[in-house]
Structure 1
Amino acid sequence: MTTNTGTAASVSVGALLRQWRMHRRVSQLELSNEAAISTRHLSFVETGRSQPSRDMVLRIAEHLEVPLRDRNQLLMAVGFAPRYSENDLDSPAMASARTAVREILAAHEPYPALAVDRMWNVLETNGAVGVLTQVVSPDLLAERPLNALGMTLHPEGMAPHIANLSQWRAFVLGGLRRSALAFADTEMLSLHDELAAYPHHGSDDREPTDTDANPVYVPLLVQVGDARLSFLAMMATFGTALDVTLSELVIETFLPADAATAAYLARHGV
Protein backbone atom coordinates (compact mmCIF):
# COMPACT_ATOMS: atom_id res chain seq x y z
CA MET A 1 0.00 0.00 0.00
CA THR A 2 2.92 2.26 -0.70
CA THR A 3 1.60 5.72 -1.49
CA ASN A 4 2.53 9.34 -0.91
CA THR A 5 2.55 11.01 2.49
CA GLY A 6 -0.47 13.18 1.76
CA THR A 7 -2.61 10.19 0.82
CA ALA A 8 -1.45 8.26 3.89
CA ALA A 9 -2.37 11.14 6.18
CA SER A 10 -5.92 11.23 4.78
CA VAL A 11 -6.58 7.54 5.53
CA SER A 12 -7.16 6.35 9.08
CA VAL A 13 -4.62 4.04 10.66
CA GLY A 14 -7.40 1.55 11.32
CA ALA A 15 -8.27 1.37 7.64
CA LEU A 16 -4.61 0.99 6.69
CA LEU A 17 -4.05 -1.79 9.23
CA ARG A 18 -7.14 -3.60 8.03
CA GLN A 19 -5.94 -3.32 4.43
CA TRP A 20 -2.60 -4.87 5.37
CA ARG A 21 -4.27 -7.61 7.43
CA MET A 22 -6.60 -8.50 4.57
CA HIS A 23 -3.72 -8.33 2.10
CA ARG A 24 -1.79 -10.84 4.21
CA ARG A 25 -4.92 -13.01 4.52
CA VAL A 26 -4.78 -12.96 8.32
CA SER A 27 -7.91 -13.00 10.48
CA GLN A 28 -8.42 -10.64 13.41
CA LEU A 29 -8.19 -13.61 15.75
CA GLU A 30 -4.89 -14.79 14.27
CA LEU A 31 -3.37 -11.32 14.38
CA SER A 32 -4.56 -10.60 17.90
CA ASN A 33 -2.99 -13.85 19.13
CA GLU A 34 0.31 -13.22 17.34
CA ALA A 35 0.57 -9.57 18.40
CA ALA A 36 -0.73 -10.13 21.96
CA ILE A 37 -3.71 -7.78 21.47
CA SER A 38 -7.31 -8.55 22.33
CA THR A 39 -9.55 -9.21 19.34
CA ARG A 40 -11.97 -6.59 20.68
CA HIS A 41 -9.27 -3.92 20.86
CA LEU A 42 -7.99 -4.77 17.37
CA SER A 43 -11.54 -4.51 16.04
CA PHE A 44 -11.96 -1.11 17.70
CA VAL A 45 -8.69 0.10 16.17
CA GLU A 46 -9.66 -1.02 12.67
CA THR A 47 -13.08 0.65 12.90
CA GLY A 48 -11.66 3.87 14.33
CA ARG A 49 -13.33 3.51 17.74
CA SER A 50 -9.92 3.32 19.40
CA GLN A 51 -6.51 4.83 18.61
CA PRO A 52 -3.50 2.50 18.85
CA SER A 53 -0.31 3.40 20.69
CA ARG A 54 2.96 3.82 18.84
CA ASP A 55 4.19 0.46 20.16
CA MET A 56 1.00 -1.26 19.07
CA VAL A 57 1.27 0.07 15.52
CA LEU A 58 4.86 -1.14 15.26
CA ARG A 59 4.02 -4.52 16.80
CA ILE A 60 1.14 -5.13 14.41
CA ALA A 61 3.23 -3.95 11.45
CA GLU A 62 6.01 -6.36 12.42
CA HIS A 63 3.64 -9.34 12.51
CA LEU A 64 2.10 -8.32 9.18
CA GLU A 65 5.59 -7.92 7.64
CA VAL A 66 4.82 -4.37 6.56
CA PRO A 67 7.77 -2.72 4.75
CA LEU A 68 9.58 0.03 6.69
CA ARG A 69 8.34 2.71 4.29
CA ASP A 70 4.74 1.76 5.01
CA ARG A 71 5.34 1.43 8.76
CA ASN A 72 6.26 5.13 8.74
CA GLN A 73 3.00 5.88 6.95
CA LEU A 74 1.05 3.92 9.56
CA LEU A 75 2.68 5.95 12.33
CA MET A 76 2.00 9.25 10.58
CA ALA A 77 -1.65 8.25 10.08
CA VAL A 78 -2.00 8.23 13.89
CA GLY A 79 -0.05 11.47 14.30
CA PHE A 80 3.28 9.98 15.40
CA ALA A 81 6.64 10.84 13.90
CA PRO A 82 8.19 8.31 11.50
CA ARG A 83 10.25 5.63 13.23
CA TYR A 84 12.58 4.77 10.36
CA SER A 85 14.96 7.19 8.68
CA GLU A 86 15.18 7.51 4.89
CA ASN A 87 18.62 8.73 3.86
CA ASP A 88 20.14 9.00 0.41
CA LEU A 89 22.91 6.47 -0.11
CA ASP A 90 25.34 9.40 -0.52
CA SER A 91 24.40 11.02 2.79
CA PRO A 92 26.89 11.09 5.72
CA ALA A 93 24.57 8.89 7.81
CA MET A 94 24.93 6.12 5.22
CA ALA A 95 28.73 6.26 4.98
CA SER A 96 29.36 2.79 6.42
CA ALA A 97 26.55 1.21 4.39
CA ARG A 98 27.76 2.95 1.22
CA THR A 99 31.29 1.68 1.81
CA ALA A 100 29.96 -1.85 2.34
CA VAL A 101 27.95 -1.69 -0.89
CA ARG A 102 30.93 -0.49 -2.90
CA GLU A 103 33.21 -3.12 -1.39
CA ILE A 104 30.71 -5.86 -2.24
CA LEU A 105 30.38 -4.61 -5.80
CA ALA A 106 34.16 -4.38 -6.24
CA ALA A 107 34.65 -7.85 -4.75
CA HIS A 108 32.46 -9.36 -7.48
CA GLU A 109 34.68 -8.10 -10.32
CA PRO A 110 35.28 -9.25 -13.00
CA TYR A 111 31.60 -10.25 -12.77
CA PRO A 112 29.00 -7.50 -13.36
CA ALA A 113 27.18 -6.28 -10.23
CA LEU A 114 24.98 -3.31 -9.41
CA ALA A 115 22.99 -1.87 -6.52
CA VAL A 116 19.40 -0.73 -7.16
CA ASP A 117 16.59 0.81 -5.13
CA ARG A 118 13.06 -0.56 -4.74
CA MET A 119 12.09 0.77 -8.18
CA TRP A 120 15.20 -0.77 -9.75
CA ASN A 121 16.90 2.58 -10.32
CA VAL A 122 20.67 2.12 -10.43
CA LEU A 123 22.48 3.50 -7.38
CA GLU A 124 25.98 2.03 -7.81
CA THR A 125 27.77 -0.32 -10.20
CA ASN A 126 31.13 -2.00 -10.46
CA GLY A 127 33.46 -1.68 -13.43
CA ALA A 128 32.39 -4.99 -14.95
CA VAL A 129 28.84 -3.75 -15.67
CA GLY A 130 30.25 -2.23 -18.84
CA VAL A 131 30.32 -5.74 -20.32
CA LEU A 132 26.50 -5.66 -20.34
CA THR A 133 25.90 -1.96 -21.00
CA GLN A 134 28.19 -1.77 -24.05
CA VAL A 135 25.25 -2.92 -26.19
CA VAL A 136 22.91 -0.22 -24.79
CA SER A 137 22.18 3.05 -26.62
CA PRO A 138 24.26 5.94 -25.20
CA ASP A 139 21.11 8.07 -24.96
CA LEU A 140 19.39 5.43 -22.84
CA LEU A 141 22.47 5.04 -20.64
CA ALA A 142 22.52 8.81 -20.05
CA GLU A 143 19.01 8.80 -18.51
CA ARG A 144 18.78 9.68 -14.81
CA PRO A 145 17.64 7.85 -12.91
CA LEU A 146 18.76 4.88 -14.99
CA ASN A 147 16.36 2.01 -14.48
CA ALA A 148 18.04 -1.39 -14.58
CA LEU A 149 14.95 -3.30 -15.72
CA GLY A 150 14.08 -0.63 -18.27
CA MET A 151 17.63 -0.78 -19.65
CA THR A 152 17.27 -4.56 -19.95
CA LEU A 153 13.90 -4.68 -21.73
CA HIS A 154 13.95 -1.42 -23.74
CA PRO A 155 14.27 -1.90 -27.53
CA GLU A 156 17.25 0.49 -27.48
CA GLY A 157 18.73 -1.30 -24.49
CA MET A 158 19.85 -4.88 -24.03
CA ALA A 159 16.64 -6.44 -25.38
CA PRO A 160 17.76 -6.87 -29.02
CA HIS A 161 20.92 -8.60 -27.78
CA ILE A 162 19.25 -11.04 -25.37
CA ALA A 163 19.08 -14.41 -27.12
CA ASN A 164 16.32 -15.74 -24.82
CA LEU A 165 14.40 -12.46 -24.56
CA SER A 166 10.91 -13.98 -24.23
CA GLN A 167 12.06 -16.24 -21.42
CA TRP A 168 14.03 -13.51 -19.63
CA ARG A 169 11.26 -10.96 -20.12
CA ALA A 170 8.70 -13.31 -18.58
CA PHE A 171 11.04 -13.91 -15.63
CA VAL A 172 11.65 -10.18 -15.06
CA LEU A 173 8.03 -9.08 -15.41
CA GLY A 174 6.75 -12.00 -13.35
CA GLY A 175 9.15 -11.27 -10.51
CA LEU A 176 8.36 -7.56 -10.57
CA ARG A 177 4.62 -8.19 -10.46
CA ARG A 178 4.96 -10.64 -7.58
CA SER A 179 7.00 -8.10 -5.62
CA ALA A 180 4.47 -5.34 -6.34
CA LEU A 181 1.62 -7.51 -5.09
CA ALA A 182 3.53 -8.78 -2.04
CA PHE A 183 4.38 -5.22 -0.96
CA ALA A 184 1.05 -3.75 -2.14
CA ASP A 185 3.19 -1.24 -4.05
CA THR A 186 1.22 0.68 -6.69
CA GLU A 187 4.32 2.49 -7.99
CA MET A 188 6.05 -0.83 -8.58
CA LEU A 189 2.95 -2.12 -10.35
CA SER A 190 3.00 0.97 -12.60
CA LEU A 191 6.63 0.20 -13.46
CA HIS A 192 5.61 -3.34 -14.36
CA ASP A 193 2.89 -2.03 -16.70
CA GLU A 194 5.32 0.43 -18.30
CA LEU A 195 7.90 -2.28 -18.99
CA ALA A 196 5.28 -4.74 -20.20
CA ALA A 197 4.24 -2.18 -22.84
CA TYR A 198 7.70 -2.15 -24.44
CA PRO A 199 7.55 -3.64 -27.96
CA HIS A 200 9.00 -7.12 -28.25
CA HIS A 201 8.78 -10.29 -30.29
CA GLY A 202 7.72 -13.62 -28.85
CA SER A 203 5.59 -14.94 -26.00
CA ASP A 204 5.14 -13.30 -22.60
CA ASP A 205 4.83 -16.58 -20.74
CA ARG A 206 7.90 -18.55 -21.77
CA GLU A 207 8.84 -20.86 -18.89
CA PRO A 208 11.87 -23.18 -18.54
CA THR A 209 11.22 -26.69 -19.82
CA ASP A 210 12.99 -30.03 -19.49
CA THR A 211 14.56 -29.46 -22.90
CA ASP A 212 16.28 -26.23 -21.82
CA ALA A 213 20.02 -26.41 -21.14
CA ASN A 214 19.52 -25.16 -17.55
CA PRO A 215 16.05 -26.23 -16.32
CA VAL A 216 16.89 -25.28 -12.70
CA TYR A 217 17.19 -21.54 -13.42
CA VAL A 218 16.57 -18.95 -16.11
CA PRO A 219 19.87 -17.81 -17.64
CA LEU A 220 20.50 -14.40 -19.15
CA LEU A 221 21.92 -15.04 -22.61
CA VAL A 222 23.50 -11.91 -24.09
CA GLN A 223 25.09 -11.64 -27.52
CA VAL A 224 28.09 -9.30 -27.38
CA GLY A 225 29.78 -9.21 -30.78
CA ASP A 226 30.73 -12.78 -31.65
CA ALA A 227 30.43 -13.95 -28.05
CA ARG A 228 27.28 -15.36 -26.50
CA LEU A 229 27.52 -14.81 -22.76
CA SER A 230 25.49 -16.83 -20.26
CA PHE A 231 24.78 -15.44 -16.79
CA LEU A 232 23.14 -16.62 -13.58
CA ALA A 233 21.60 -13.70 -11.66
CA MET A 234 21.80 -13.57 -7.86
CA MET A 235 20.34 -10.91 -5.54
CA ALA A 236 21.30 -9.91 -2.00
CA THR A 237 19.73 -7.54 0.55
CA PHE A 238 20.58 -6.08 3.95
CA GLY A 239 18.81 -8.30 6.47
CA THR A 240 19.00 -5.96 9.48
CA ALA A 241 18.29 -2.58 7.88
CA LEU A 242 16.54 0.10 9.97
CA ASP A 243 16.69 2.76 7.25
CA VAL A 244 14.07 2.75 4.49
CA THR A 245 16.61 3.24 1.71
CA LEU A 246 18.85 0.46 2.99
CA SER A 247 15.92 -1.92 3.54
CA GLU A 248 14.91 -1.52 -0.11
CA LEU A 249 18.42 -1.71 -1.60
CA VAL A 250 19.21 -4.81 -3.65
CA ILE A 251 22.60 -5.93 -4.96
CA GLU A 252 22.31 -7.96 -8.15
CA THR A 253 25.28 -9.94 -9.42
CA PHE A 254 25.60 -11.68 -12.78
CA LEU A 255 27.75 -14.77 -12.38
CA PRO A 256 29.12 -16.71 -15.37
CA ALA A 257 26.98 -19.75 -16.14
CA ASP A 258 29.59 -21.45 -18.30
CA ALA A 259 33.35 -21.60 -18.79
CA ALA A 260 33.32 -19.50 -21.95
CA THR A 261 31.57 -16.62 -20.18
CA ALA A 262 33.96 -16.87 -17.24
CA ALA A 263 36.92 -16.66 -19.63
CA TYR A 264 35.39 -13.67 -21.45
CA LEU A 265 34.82 -11.82 -18.18
CA ALA A 266 38.36 -12.55 -17.05
CA ARG A 267 39.58 -10.78 -20.19
CA HIS A 268 37.04 -7.96 -20.41
CA GLY A 269 35.33 -7.67 -17.02
CA VAL A 270 37.35 -4.73 -15.64
Structure 2
Amino acid sequence: MTIVPPGAAAPAPADHGVGPLLRAWREQRRVSQLELALRADSSARHISFIETGRSRPSEEMVLRLAEHLDVPVRERNALLLAAGYAPRYPETPLDDPALDALRAGMERLIQGYEPYPALVVDAMYNVHAANRGILTLLDGIPEHLLTPPLNAMRLTLHPEGLAPRIRNLREWRGHLLAQMDRQIALRRSEPLRRLYEEVAAYPVPEETRAAEPAEPVPYFALPMQIEHEGRVLSFISSISTFNTPMDVTVAELAIETLLPADPSTVKYLQSLMP
Protein backbone atom coordinates (compact mmCIF):
# COMPACT_ATOMS: atom_id res chain seq x y z
CA MET A 1 0.00 0.00 0.00
CA THR A 2 -0.15 3.42 -0.59
CA ILE A 3 3.78 9.56 3.15
CA VAL A 4 13.18 14.08 6.11
CA PRO A 5 12.96 11.81 9.65
CA PRO A 6 9.81 12.11 11.79
CA GLY A 7 11.37 15.04 13.62
CA ALA A 8 10.81 17.21 10.54
CA ALA A 9 7.54 18.59 11.89
CA ALA A 10 7.78 22.04 13.39
CA PRO A 11 7.63 22.07 17.19
CA ALA A 12 4.49 23.45 18.77
CA PRO A 13 5.08 26.99 20.01
CA ALA A 14 5.07 27.58 23.75
CA ASP A 15 2.38 30.25 23.38
CA HIS A 16 -0.65 28.77 21.68
CA GLY A 17 -2.10 32.10 20.55
CA VAL A 18 -2.83 32.47 16.86
CA GLY A 19 0.31 34.56 16.24
CA PRO A 20 2.87 31.90 17.30
CA LEU A 21 0.82 29.22 15.57
CA LEU A 22 0.83 31.13 12.30
CA ARG A 23 4.56 31.79 12.67
CA ALA A 24 5.18 28.07 13.20
CA TRP A 25 3.25 27.22 10.03
CA ARG A 26 5.07 29.94 8.08
CA GLU A 27 8.45 28.66 9.21
CA GLN A 28 7.39 25.09 8.50
CA ARG A 29 6.58 26.15 4.93
CA ARG A 30 9.84 28.14 4.71
CA VAL A 31 8.04 31.32 3.69
CA SER A 32 9.27 34.76 4.72
CA GLN A 33 6.97 37.37 6.24
CA LEU A 34 7.37 39.47 3.10
CA GLU A 35 6.51 36.59 0.78
CA LEU A 36 3.45 35.69 2.84
CA ALA A 37 2.36 39.32 2.91
CA LEU A 38 2.59 39.52 -0.89
CA ARG A 39 0.58 36.34 -1.29
CA ALA A 40 -2.11 37.49 1.15
CA ASP A 41 -2.29 41.09 -0.15
CA SER A 42 -1.04 42.44 3.17
CA SER A 43 2.23 43.93 4.48
CA ALA A 44 5.22 42.37 6.19
CA ARG A 45 4.65 44.80 9.07
CA HIS A 46 1.10 43.56 9.56
CA ILE A 47 2.21 39.91 9.42
CA SER A 48 4.88 40.69 12.02
CA PHE A 49 2.33 42.36 14.30
CA ILE A 50 0.00 39.34 14.01
CA GLU A 51 2.78 36.87 14.84
CA THR A 52 3.95 38.84 17.87
CA GLY A 53 0.42 39.41 19.18
CA ARG A 54 0.47 43.17 18.65
CA SER A 55 -2.41 42.87 16.19
CA ARG A 56 -5.43 40.57 16.24
CA PRO A 57 -6.21 39.28 12.76
CA SER A 58 -9.73 39.22 11.43
CA GLU A 59 -11.39 35.88 10.77
CA GLU A 60 -10.99 36.51 7.04
CA MET A 61 -7.26 37.20 7.48
CA VAL A 62 -6.73 33.99 9.50
CA LEU A 63 -8.37 31.95 6.75
CA ARG A 64 -6.47 33.81 4.02
CA LEU A 65 -3.11 33.20 5.68
CA ALA A 66 -4.00 29.56 6.32
CA GLU A 67 -4.89 29.15 2.65
CA HIS A 68 -1.58 30.60 1.45
CA LEU A 69 0.34 28.47 3.96
CA ASP A 70 -1.48 25.32 2.82
CA VAL A 71 -2.65 24.61 6.37
CA PRO A 72 -4.82 21.45 6.53
CA VAL A 73 -8.52 21.98 7.20
CA ARG A 74 -8.41 20.49 10.72
CA GLU A 75 -5.60 22.88 11.73
CA ARG A 76 -7.45 25.85 10.21
CA ASN A 77 -10.13 25.29 12.82
CA ALA A 78 -7.42 25.34 15.50
CA LEU A 79 -6.11 28.66 14.16
CA LEU A 80 -9.60 30.15 14.26
CA LEU A 81 -10.13 29.02 17.85
CA ALA A 82 -6.75 30.44 18.88
CA ALA A 83 -7.78 33.77 17.33
CA GLY A 84 -11.08 33.78 19.25
CA TYR A 85 -13.37 32.73 16.41
CA ALA A 86 -15.68 29.75 15.95
CA PRO A 87 -14.43 26.81 13.85
CA ARG A 88 -15.42 27.15 10.21
CA TYR A 89 -15.21 23.52 9.10
CA PRO A 90 -17.41 20.74 10.56
CA GLU A 91 -16.14 17.21 11.21
CA THR A 92 -18.97 14.93 10.17
CA PRO A 93 -18.69 11.23 11.10
CA LEU A 94 -18.32 9.16 7.95
CA ASP A 95 -21.37 7.07 8.89
CA ASP A 96 -23.55 10.17 9.23
CA PRO A 97 -26.57 10.17 6.85
CA ALA A 98 -25.35 13.53 5.52
CA LEU A 99 -22.45 11.68 3.88
CA ASP A 100 -24.54 8.87 2.39
CA ALA A 101 -24.03 10.16 -1.16
CA LEU A 102 -20.28 10.49 -0.58
CA ARG A 103 -19.92 6.95 0.73
CA ALA A 104 -22.02 5.53 -2.11
CA GLY A 105 -19.96 7.44 -4.65
CA MET A 106 -16.68 6.17 -3.21
CA GLU A 107 -17.98 2.60 -3.19
CA ARG A 108 -19.02 2.86 -6.85
CA LEU A 109 -15.64 4.37 -7.72
CA ILE A 110 -13.49 1.66 -6.13
CA GLN A 111 -15.76 -1.09 -7.47
CA GLY A 112 -15.35 0.43 -10.91
CA TYR A 113 -11.59 -0.21 -10.67
CA GLU A 114 -12.08 -3.96 -10.25
CA PRO A 115 -10.27 -6.25 -10.84
CA TYR A 116 -7.55 -3.72 -9.95
CA PRO A 117 -7.15 -3.11 -6.19
CA ALA A 118 -8.54 0.11 -4.71
CA LEU A 119 -9.34 1.32 -1.20
CA VAL A 120 -10.36 4.41 0.80
CA VAL A 121 -8.21 5.51 3.77
CA ASP A 122 -8.24 8.41 6.23
CA ALA A 123 -5.35 10.54 7.51
CA MET A 124 -4.23 7.70 9.81
CA TYR A 125 -4.35 5.15 6.96
CA ASN A 126 -7.33 3.39 8.49
CA VAL A 127 -9.26 1.58 5.75
CA HIS A 128 -12.91 2.64 5.32
CA ALA A 129 -13.69 0.77 2.10
CA ALA A 130 -11.93 -1.71 -0.16
CA ASN A 131 -12.83 -3.58 -3.33
CA ARG A 132 -12.39 -7.23 -4.24
CA GLY A 133 -8.99 -6.55 -5.77
CA ILE A 134 -7.65 -5.61 -2.35
CA LEU A 135 -9.30 -8.60 -0.70
CA THR A 136 -7.55 -10.89 -3.21
CA LEU A 137 -4.14 -9.62 -2.05
CA LEU A 138 -5.08 -10.17 1.61
CA ASP A 139 -5.66 -13.93 1.28
CA GLY A 140 -3.92 -15.72 4.16
CA ILE A 141 -3.27 -12.65 6.32
CA PRO A 142 -3.67 -13.45 10.07
CA GLU A 143 -6.99 -12.48 11.59
CA HIS A 144 -5.45 -10.15 14.18
CA LEU A 145 -4.23 -7.86 11.38
CA LEU A 146 -7.68 -7.85 9.76
CA THR A 147 -9.58 -6.83 12.90
CA PRO A 148 -11.13 -3.35 12.53
CA PRO A 149 -9.95 -0.70 12.42
CA LEU A 150 -7.95 -2.06 9.50
CA ASN A 151 -4.76 -0.05 8.97
CA ALA A 152 -3.13 -0.05 5.54
CA MET A 153 0.38 0.69 6.82
CA ARG A 154 0.29 -2.09 9.41
CA LEU A 155 -1.10 -4.54 6.85
CA THR A 156 1.65 -3.69 4.38
CA LEU A 157 4.73 -3.49 6.60
CA HIS A 158 3.95 -5.96 9.43
CA PRO A 159 6.14 -9.10 9.24
CA GLU A 160 2.95 -11.20 9.36
CA GLY A 161 1.19 -9.00 6.81
CA LEU A 162 2.06 -8.34 3.19
CA ALA A 163 5.73 -7.55 3.89
CA PRO A 164 7.08 -11.10 3.35
CA ARG A 165 5.29 -11.24 -0.03
CA ILE A 166 6.66 -7.94 -1.34
CA ARG A 167 9.70 -8.76 -3.47
CA ASN A 168 11.12 -5.22 -3.38
CA LEU A 169 10.21 -4.60 0.27
CA ARG A 170 13.18 -2.40 1.13
CA GLU A 171 12.42 0.03 -1.69
CA TRP A 172 8.66 -0.02 -1.12
CA ARG A 173 9.07 0.34 2.64
CA GLY A 174 11.31 3.37 2.09
CA HIS A 175 8.67 4.91 -0.17
CA LEU A 176 5.89 4.39 2.39
CA LEU A 177 7.90 5.76 5.31
CA ALA A 178 8.86 8.83 3.28
CA GLN A 179 5.19 9.31 2.38
CA MET A 180 4.18 9.16 6.05
CA ASP A 181 6.96 11.54 6.99
CA ARG A 182 5.72 14.13 4.49
CA GLN A 183 2.26 13.80 6.00
CA ILE A 184 3.69 14.33 9.50
CA ALA A 185 5.42 17.49 8.34
CA LEU A 186 2.23 18.70 6.66
CA ARG A 187 -0.19 17.94 9.49
CA ARG A 188 2.07 17.93 12.58
CA SER A 189 0.04 14.94 13.81
CA GLU A 190 1.24 13.12 16.94
CA PRO A 191 -0.97 10.03 16.30
CA LEU A 192 0.52 9.75 12.81
CA ARG A 193 4.02 10.14 14.26
CA ARG A 194 3.33 7.26 16.68
CA LEU A 195 2.10 5.09 13.79
CA TYR A 196 5.28 5.96 11.87
CA GLU A 197 7.46 4.94 14.80
CA GLU A 198 5.55 1.66 15.16
CA VAL A 199 5.74 0.53 11.53
CA ALA A 200 9.32 1.83 11.07
CA ALA A 201 10.37 -0.50 13.90
CA TYR A 202 9.01 -3.63 12.19
CA PRO A 203 11.86 -5.98 11.19
CA VAL A 204 12.77 -6.30 7.52
CA PRO A 205 13.43 -9.89 6.33
CA GLU A 206 17.05 -10.28 5.23
CA GLU A 207 16.05 -12.49 2.34
CA THR A 208 13.97 -9.74 0.73
CA ARG A 209 15.00 -9.46 -2.90
CA ALA A 210 13.83 -7.60 -5.97
CA ALA A 211 11.74 -9.44 -8.51
CA GLU A 212 13.29 -10.50 -11.81
CA PRO A 213 10.59 -10.27 -14.48
CA ALA A 214 10.79 -12.55 -17.50
CA GLU A 215 10.87 -9.48 -19.73
CA PRO A 216 12.44 -6.11 -18.77
CA VAL A 217 9.71 -3.57 -18.02
CA PRO A 218 10.46 0.20 -18.26
CA TYR A 219 8.61 1.25 -15.10
CA PHE A 220 7.63 4.93 -15.04
CA ALA A 221 7.28 4.92 -11.23
CA LEU A 222 8.41 2.71 -8.36
CA PRO A 223 6.23 -0.42 -8.47
CA MET A 224 5.15 -2.66 -5.62
CA GLN A 225 6.13 -6.17 -6.68
CA ILE A 226 4.17 -8.72 -4.69
CA GLU A 227 3.93 -12.50 -4.84
CA HIS A 228 0.46 -14.00 -5.21
CA GLU A 229 -0.14 -17.71 -5.73
CA GLY A 230 3.28 -18.26 -7.26
CA ARG A 231 3.15 -15.19 -9.50
CA VAL A 232 4.84 -11.81 -9.14
CA LEU A 233 2.35 -8.97 -9.65
CA SER A 234 3.52 -5.40 -10.17
CA PHE A 235 1.46 -2.35 -9.21
CA ILE A 236 1.88 1.42 -9.43
CA SER A 237 0.11 3.36 -6.66
CA SER A 238 -2.05 6.39 -7.39
CA ILE A 239 -3.70 8.52 -4.68
CA SER A 240 -6.69 10.85 -5.16
CA THR A 241 -8.14 13.36 -2.69
CA PHE A 242 -11.17 15.63 -2.75
CA ASN A 243 -10.81 19.10 -4.23
CA THR A 244 -11.79 22.12 -2.06
CA PRO A 245 -13.20 20.08 0.86
CA MET A 246 -15.33 21.96 3.40
CA ASP A 247 -15.44 19.20 6.01
CA VAL A 248 -12.54 17.86 8.10
CA THR A 249 -13.53 14.22 7.56
CA VAL A 250 -13.79 14.61 3.80
CA ALA A 251 -10.53 16.58 3.63
CA GLU A 252 -8.65 13.67 5.23
CA LEU A 253 -10.00 10.91 2.97
CA ALA A 254 -7.91 9.52 0.12
CA ILE A 255 -8.67 6.94 -2.56
CA GLU A 256 -5.71 4.75 -3.44
CA THR A 257 -5.66 2.63 -6.54
CA LEU A 258 -3.06 0.01 -7.47
CA LEU A 259 -2.72 0.03 -11.25
CA PRO A 260 -1.04 -2.89 -13.07
CA ALA A 261 2.52 -1.99 -14.03
CA ASP A 262 3.02 -4.69 -16.67
CA PRO A 263 0.97 -6.73 -19.15
CA SER A 264 1.28 -9.99 -17.20
CA THR A 265 -0.32 -8.40 -14.12
CA VAL A 266 -3.18 -7.07 -16.27
CA LYS A 267 -3.77 -10.48 -17.82
CA TYR A 268 -3.74 -12.29 -14.47
CA LEU A 269 -6.12 -9.87 -12.75
CA GLN A 270 -8.54 -9.97 -15.64
CA SER A 271 -8.53 -13.76 -15.44
CA LEU A 272 -9.95 -13.47 -11.92
CA MET A 273 -13.07 -11.66 -13.11
CA PRO A 274 -16.22 -13.81 -13.42
Is TM more than 0.5 here? yes
Return the letter of the residue paired with 2:243: G
1:49 Cα shift? 1.7
- 3-state SS of 2:238 partner: strand
Distance 2:173 2:45 in 1: 47
CA root-mean-square deviation: 2.5
1:31 Cα shift? 1.1
TM-score of the pair, normalised by structure 2 = 0.87
User: Given the alignment of the two structures, is residue 18 of structure 1 paired with residue 52 of structure 2, yes or no?
Assistant: no
1:203 Cα shift? 11
1:79 Cα shift? 2.0
Aligned twin of 1:48: 53
Of 232-241 and 15-24, the range deviating more from structure 2: 232-241
Q: Is the 8 A contact 2:89 2:247 kept in 1?
A: yes
Distance 1:269 1:51 in 2: 60
User: Given the alignment of the two structures, is residue 62 of structure 1 paired with residue 67 of structure 2, yes or no?
Assistant: yes
Q: Which of 193, 197, 203 is equivalent to 1:193?
A: 197
Return the letter of the residue paired with 2:252: E
Question: Quick one: structure 1 residues 83 and 182, their matched pair in 2 at CA, closer, same or farther if it must change by over 3 Å?
Answer: same
Q: Which of 177, 183, 186 is equivalent to 1:179?
A: 183
Q: Is the 8 A contact 2:157 2:173 kept in 1?
A: yes
Aligned twin of 1:157: 161
Deviation digits for residues 214-239 of structure 1 (CA, Å, limit 9, x no counterpart): 45311111112222211111111111
Question: Quick one: structure 1 residues 251 and 219, their matched pair in 2 at CA, closer, same or farther if it must change by over 3 Å?
Answer: same
Which blocks of at least 5 consecutive residues in structure 2 are unaligned? 1-8, 211-215
Distance 1:22 1:236 in 2: 27
Q: Which of 23, 35, 42 is equivalent to 1:37?
A: 42
Aligned twin of 1:239: 243
Q: Give the length in aligned residue pairs.
A: 260
Return the letter of the residue paired with 1:56: M
Deviation digits for residues 108-141 of structure 1 (CA, Å, limit 9, x no counterpart): 0111100000111101111221111113212211
Question: Quick one: structure 1 residues 203 and 28, their matched pair in 2 at CA, closer, same or farther if it must change by over 3 Å?
Answer: farther
Aligned twin of 1:135: 140
Distance 1:103 1:82 in 2: 32
Which blocks of at least 5 consecutive residues in structure 1 are unaligned? 207-211
Q: Is the 8 A contact 2:10 2:185 kept in 1?
A: no
